[in-house]
Structures are given as C-alpha cells and as structure tokens.
Amino acid sequence: MDRFDLLIVGGGPIGIACGLEAQKKGLSYVIIEKGPIVNSLFNYPVNMQFFSSSERLEIDDIPFISNEAKPKRNESLEYYRRIVTSNKLKLHLFEKVETIENRREDFKVTTSKNTYTASNITIATGFYDLPNLLEVPGEELTKVSHYYKDPHYYAGQKLAVIGASNSAIDAALECWRKGAEVTLIIRGPEVGKRVKYWVRPDIMNRIEEGSIKAYYNTSVKEIREKEIELETPEGKIILKNDFVLALTGYTPNFEFLENVGIELSKDEKKLPNYNPETMETNIKGIYLAGVICGGMETHKWFIENSRVHAKIIVENILRKKESEISN
C-alpha cells in the first residue's frame, strides 16, 4: 500500500498547483484524477474562451503564452498538460477516489484502482460534475444534455438553450452561427449580469433583431420527443424542438464532502468548514483548495484567486511536520 505525505483529490489546475508545491518542498505526494488531465477544462465547450487573461491562469509563476489576452480552451489544455509532463508530476489519471477513511494517525484512501495511505488530504474537486437538474418530465430523454461541446452537432436543428449565464449564452450564439434555430429560455427577467462583457452586446443584438428568440421569466414544464412545453408570463406555450441544452449550472459533490466528515453550513450556501489561514477543514489533516471552498457560491473562487491555496496548504503541512519532529 503506497503511503504519502499528501494525497490530492482532483487533477485540475489547483490540484496540479498543489502537486507542484508539494514536489518543490520535498513532500511525497500523489494526485488522483477521475478523468484526463484537467478533466473539467477538457469538458468545456471546444471554442470556449476564458474570462481571465492568461497571466491570471498561471500557476507556480510558469508563463502562460496565448494568442489573445484571454486564452481559449485548447491553449489551457496545452499549458496545464505541459506543466504536468515537464515537471513529471505524480498524477494518476482515470482513477476515481471512492472513500476516505480517517484512521486518526493517517487516512486510508480507496480508489477505483488502488488503496493508499496519506498523512494529509487535499480536496480540489471543483464543481463541474453535478448539473443542476430541471426536475421536469422528459429531462431523461437522450435529446437533453447538461453539457455543451460543439455547435456543429446542432446545425439545422430546433434547439432550446436553457439558462442565462456564460455557458448558455455562448452556446446559443455559437449554435445559431452554425445554423441552429435557437430559442433561449431564461428563468429571470434578463440575461445574466455575469455574462462576459464582450459577449453581452452580441446576444442582446441577436435577440433584438429576432435571430434568437428569447423567453424571459419562463420555466420549462415538460420536454417531449418533438416539442417542449413552457410556462411564460403570457401562459403556456408549446414549441417544436429537436434538442435541449439545459445549461443551468453545476454544484460541488457535497455528498462526498459529508461522507469524509467535513461540516457544511446549514443554509442554502452549504459552505464547508475550513480555516482560511491554513485551508484545513474541521477534520485535522484534510484541506480544501479551489472552487470547492465556496460551497454553492461557485462564482466566488476561480483559478486566479485560489492558486495561492497550494502554498498555504503545503506550508501548513510542513509546519506540522517540523512541530512533530521537535516534539
């Protein structure tokens, strides 16, 4: 059974940053990732462009050079992949962490492929795994997806895009430009306030000219094979429909955190219990890093403002090791 000073759950940018810092400071470590390198970024839309500039996505002061100020998905995949390979990070891919057992003196971690022991755990799992479901009849149909990849797939089709944030707006515009007949369904009174500033005028112009039909203050009541039923301020309407992109956001895996023993706030924010000065949770030896720290407030933490978590965590582990040696 392999034993490490630090086992990192999640091989995204922040998990990689934690591995880099551990390696630099001489800690034995391993990163466990259930998919490919930076799995969440890999599953982003093929044409996705970041809101942040490239230097704000850098980790460990390794330069990120992109063609434009704001890099695209393929450039970010290249950047983080090269960091992993160039630094020979100990990263186990396509391996899912199933259980973490607190044995007081250490942790026993069981995955889909192996069993490990570690003195410390960092959970850096992000929030892209569990979509917010509509919970309406027909959501289970194969025509419905909560993830958007490539606009070509929807060319010539009647496509309903549900949502008002960046992912939904980007998908609506891209699919319309590739020949889809796009209907945008928004629960609130307007396009989301956090939509990228250079994208907002584009979507508003398309809506105003009628190229993309938008229904505001509208909810989906039922999805059927060839149509979709909406509840609008003017009453019920039924639209012909071939595909549905329900891009209504995602949530962290709170069940995983609770099974580990991490306390969550009782309100709707579900904020995990951790010390921001050390990133250690209520379970001694278990740390959080990245967007998972924000609970349901998934817009609070990004790569650019959470990459510092890696240094904080490793420094705390080193202090504890020094204290144990001196005692």
The pLDDT tens digits for 248-260 are 988 889 999 999 9
Identify whether residues 221 and 147 lie together within a single domain.
yes
> Sign of the CA dihedral 85, 86, 88, 91?
negative
pLDDT of 51: 83
Q: Which two tokens stand for residue 60?
A: 């460990």
Q: Is the pLDDT of residue 326 over 80?
A: no
CB atoms within 10 A of CB 3: 12
pLDDT of 275: 97
CA dist., res. 207 & res. 188, Å (int): 15
Greatest CA span in the chain, whole angstroms?
73
Identify whether residues 149 and 206 lie together within a single domain.
yes
Identify whether residues 6 and 93 lie together within a single domain.
yes
CA dist., res. 257 & res. 223, Å (int): 33
pLDDT of 297: 86
Q: Which domain holds residue 153?
A: 133-246
Which CATH number fits the domain that encloses residue 266?
3.50.50.60
* SS3 state of residue 188: coil
Identify whether residues 148 and 240 lie together within a single domain.
yes
Identify whether residues 175 and 321 lie together within a single domain.
no
* SS3 state of residue 151: helix
Q: Is the pLDDT of residue 293 over 80?
A: yes
Query: Exposure pattern of 179-214 as b/e (b: 16+ CB <10 Å)?
Result: ebbbbbbbeeeebeeebbeebbebbbebbeeeebeb
Count of the separate structural domains present in the chain = 2
Which residue in 162, 164, 165 sits closest to 230, CA to CA?
162
Q: Which helix (H) or strand (E) holds 100?
A: strand 97-102
Amino acid at residue number 214? A
Identify whether residues 125 and 263 lie together within a single domain.
yes
As a whole number, mean pLDDT of residues 2-29 equals 96
Degrees, nearest 5: CA angle 296-299-301: 95
* SS3 state of residue 184: strand
Calculate the CA dihedral of residues 197, 202, 208, 212 and round it to 10 degrees: -120
Identify whether residues 11 and 115 lie together within a single domain.
yes
Going from the C-alpha of 205 to that of each of 47, 213, 310, the distances in angstroms are: 21, 11, 42
As a whole number, mean pLDDT of residues 264-281 equals 95
Condensed to tens digits (0 to 9), the pLDDT of residues 124-156 reads: 998 887 899 999 999 999 999 999 999 999 999
Q: Is the pLDDT of residue 327 over 80?
A: no
pLDDT of 148: 95
Amino acid at residue number 322? E
Identify whether residues 9 and 125 lie together within a single domain.
yes
CB atoms within 10 A of CB 27: 19
Q: Is the pLDDT of residue 111 over 90?
A: yes
Pairing, β 250-251 against β 130-131: antiparallel
Task: Give the residue from 212, 246, 280 where a domain finishes.
Answer: 246
Identify whether residues 176 and 46 lie together within a single domain.
no
Condensed to tens digits (0 to 9), the pLDDT of residues 200-223 reads: 999 999 999 999 999 999 999 999
Condensed to tens digits (0 to 9), the pLDDT of residues 229-242 reads: 999 999 999 999 99
CA dist., res. 278 & res. 257, Å (int): 18
Task: Give the residue from 229, 246, 263 where a domain finishes.
Answer: 246
Residue 161 backbone phi and psi in degrees, to 5:
-110, 120
Could you write out the DSSP letters of every residue in 109-122? EEESS-EEEEEEEE
Lowest-confidence region among 21-35, 49-63, 160-174, 268-282: 49-63
Q: At what angle do helices 309-326 and 13-24 cross, to 10 degrees?
A: 40
As a whole number, mean pLDDT of residues 50-73 equals 91
Condensed to tens digits (0 to 9), the pLDDT of residues 29-49 reads: 999 999 999 998 998 889 888
Identify whether residues 151 and 213 lie together within a single domain.
yes
Q: How many CA atoms lie within 13 A of 250 on its CB side?
A: 19
Identify whether residues 17 and 49 lie together within a single domain.
yes
As a whole number, mean pLDDT of residues 56-69 equals 91
pLDDT of 300: 85
Q: Which two tokens stand for residue 208?
A: 């105003």
Could you write out the DSSP letters of every residue in 37-82? TTHHHHTS-TT-B-SS-GGGG-STT-----SSSS-BHHHHHHHHHH
Condensed to tens digits (0 to 9), the pLDDT of residues 239-250 reads: 999 999 999 988
Per-residue pLDDT band for 105 (boundaries 50, 70, 90) equals confident
Q: What is the mean pLDDT of the chain?
A: 94
Task: Give the residue from 223, 246, 269 where a domain finishes.
Answer: 246
DSSP bridge pairs for 314: none
Percent of the chain with pLDDT over 90: 84
pLDDT of 324: 76
pLDDT of 258: 95
pLDDT of 102: 94
Identify whether residues 319 and 181 lie together within a single domain.
no
